[in-house]
């Protein structure tokens, strides 16, 4: 039957899109940068040249050289190795925070978009109130309340702050989906609401959710870096990028720019790589 040919064409669609993705410059650059950082986060010790706490008291605040590629900081520690090692903390925390925000946001967005009515109205007003709270102020308040910075608290706060955005995006997609007749068809075989939400509607809003997730992940990197720069994000003394910048930025005035520049570049490169990937996904999959 000729229907076979139509089947074959459609099956090659995904591979054609993937081929396009592989040719997409933004994706290649973004994915390469991100792959490097993810590799560093997992196998940091292999890429780093010194231990994160190794201090060379002979060369304190030495400028970039063959021995210390990114120079050393005011304690004589290798900036390059600390940037590599520091990737793990920021990537893991940002990822977990975004995952939390996406999970809660998607659940609420699904319910609001599908159930509509009063539930939707009340929930969306609450979420709007949450999104009006500045993230930095809550984080500082939390540190003040419990007396120290904690990565768990950071994850919870960023997750909470992201919830309204994710919920709004998912809700908008669900509003359109729930009008489609496959939802009526599911009701016409006596499906429960939970089944319709999670098994019927959710898979169809997944592409939207994935793109929203990558966008949020980019913001999360910035948020975690900002909080740790302020000393409100992570446990004291952690070798993450935000803390490194916080510890060293005042040296810029003494022309010692390298301990600040390289962690800052690292933050920017991760955020940019994630944005490049989400742009490429949007383009290739025509979302």
Partner 1 sequence: MSTNNIPTLELRSLEVAYTVRGIDRSVLRGVSFAIAPGEAYGLVGESGCGKSTAAFAAMRYLPRNGKITGGEIFFEGKNIVDIDEEDVAQLRRSAISMVYQNPSTALNPTIRIGKQIAEVFELNGVSSSDAMMMAEQALTRVQIADPARVLRRYAHQLSGGMAQRVVIAMALASNPRLLVMDEPTTGLDATVEAEVLDLVRELRRDTGTAVLFISHNLGVIRNMCDRVGVLYAGALVEQGATSDLFSNPSHPYTVGLLRCIPRGGLHKSTDRLDTIPGTPPALGLKFDGCVFVARCALADDKCRTQLPQMVTINVAHVARCFHSDKASSLPRSVEQIEYAPQVTGHSTKVGDALLNISHLSKVFTQDGHKVRVINDVSLTLGVGETLGLVGESGSGKTTIAKLLLGLTPPEEGGVVTLDGKGLAKTLNRRDVADVGAMQIVFQNPDQALNRRHSVTRIVGRAVERLRKFSLANAIARAHELLSGMRVDASLHSVRPVQLSGGLKQRVAISRAFAGAPQLVVCDEPTSALDVSVQAAILNLLVDLQKQDKTSFIFISHDLGVVRYISDRIAVLYLGRVVEFGTSQRVFNGPFHPYTEALLSSVPNIDGSTRKRIPLTGSVPSPSNPPSGCVLNPRCPRKAGSGYETLCETEEPNLNEVEPGHFMRCHIPMAKLKQLQS
For the bound state, the minimum distance from the C-beta of residue 14 to partner 1, rounded and expressed in Å, comes to 10
Give the residue, chosen from 43, 103, 119, 182, that forms a contact with partner 1 under the rule CB under 8 A.
182
CB of 172 to partner 1, least distance (A): 18
Q: Which residues contact 169 (CB under 8 A, 6 or more apart)?
A: 105, 109, 208, 209, 212
C-alpha distances in angstroms, 278 versus 36, 212, 273?
A: 17, 9, 9
Regarding 25 and contact with partner 1 (CB under 8 A), the answer is: no
**Minimum distance of partner 1 from residue 12's CB (angstroms):** 9
Contact region for partner 1 (CB under 8 A) — 107-115, 196-204, 235-243, 252-260?
A: 196-204
22 part of the interface to partner 1, by CB under 8 A: no
In the bound complex, what is the minimum distance in angstroms from residue 99's beta carbon to partner 1?
22
The smaller minimum CB distance to partner 1, of residues 121 and 184, is found at: 184
Q: Is 63 in the site for partner 1 (CB under 8 A)?
A: no
Task: Report, in Å, the least distance between residue 166 CB and partner 1.
Answer: 20
- The site for partner 1, by CB under 8 A, has a size of 31
Binder among 35, 187, 194, 198 for partner 1 (CB under 8 A)? 187
Binding to partner 1 in span 201-260, by CB under 8 A: 203-204, 206
The span of 8-16, 64-72, 85-93, 113-121 binding partner 1 (CB under 8 A) equals 8-16
Which one of 10-18, 94-102, 111-119, 233-241 is the stretch in contact with partner 1 (CB under 8 A)?
A: 10-18
Q: What is the 3-state secondary structure (H, E, C) of the chain?
A: CCHHHHHHHHHHHHHHHHHHHHHCHHHHHHHHHHHHHHHHHHHHHHHCCCCCCCECCCCCCCCCCCCCCCCECCCCEEHHHHHHHHHHHHHHHHHHHHHHHHHHHHHHHHHHHHHCHHHHHHHHHHHHHHHCCCHHHHHHHHHHHHCCCCHHHHHHHHHHHHHHHHHHHHHHHHHHHHCCHHHHHHHCCCCCHHHHHHHHHHHHHHHHHHHHHHHHHHHHHHHHHHHHHCCCCCCCCCCCHHHHHHHHHHHHHHCCCHHHHHHHHHHHHHHHHHHHHHHHHHHHCCC
User: Is residue 117 involved in binding partner 1 (CB under 8 A)?
Assistant: no
Shorter beta-carbon distance to partner 1: residue 177 or 240: 177
**210-to-66, 116, 154, 172 alpha-carbon distances in Å:** 42, 23, 22, 15
Q: Does 58 bind partner 1 (CB under 8 A)?
A: no
Q: Which of 117, 132, 181, 255 binds partner 1 (CB under 8 A)?
A: 181
Using CB under 8 A as the binding rule, whether residue 118 contacts partner 1 is answered as no
Enumerate binding residues for partner 1 (CB under 8 A).
1-7, 9-11, 13, 16-17, 19-20, 23, 180-182, 184-191, 200, 203-204, 206
């Amino acid at each position: 039957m000729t229907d076979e040919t139509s089947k074959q064409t459609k099956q090659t669609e995904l591979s054609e899109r993937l081929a396009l993705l592989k040719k997409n410059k933004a994706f290649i650059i973004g994915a390469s940068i991100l792959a490097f950082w993810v590799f560093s986060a997992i196998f940091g010790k292999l890429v780093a040249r010194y231990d994160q706490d190794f201090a060379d008291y002979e060369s304190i605040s030495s400028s970039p050289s063959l021995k210390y590629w990114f120079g050393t900081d005011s304690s004589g520690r290798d900036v390059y190795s600390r940037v590599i090692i520091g990737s793990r903390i920021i990537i893991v925390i940002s990822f977990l925070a975004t995952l939390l925000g996406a999970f809660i946001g998607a659940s609420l967005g699904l319910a609001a978009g599908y159930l509509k009515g009063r539930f939707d109205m009340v929930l969306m007003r609450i979420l709007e109130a949450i999104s009006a709270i500045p993230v930095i102020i809550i984080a500082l308040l939390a540190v003040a309340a419990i007396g120290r910075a904690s990565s768990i608290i950071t994850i919870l706060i960023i997750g909470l702050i992201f919830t309204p955005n994710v919920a709004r995006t998912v809700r908008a997609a669900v509003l359109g989906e729930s009008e489609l007749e496959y939802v009526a068809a599911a009701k016409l075989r006596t499906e429960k609401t939970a089944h319709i939400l999670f098994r019927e509607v959710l898979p169809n809003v997944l592409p939207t959710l994935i793109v929203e997730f990558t966008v949020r992940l980019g913001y999360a990197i910035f948020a975690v870096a900002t909080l740790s720069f302020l000393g409100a994000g992570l446990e004291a003394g952690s070798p993450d990028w935000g803390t490194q910048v916080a510890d060293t930025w005042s040296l810029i005035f003494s022309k010692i720019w390298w301990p600040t520049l390289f962690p800052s570049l690292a933050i920017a490169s991760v955020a940019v790589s994630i944005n490049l990937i989400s742009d490429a996904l949007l383009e290739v999959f025509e979302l």
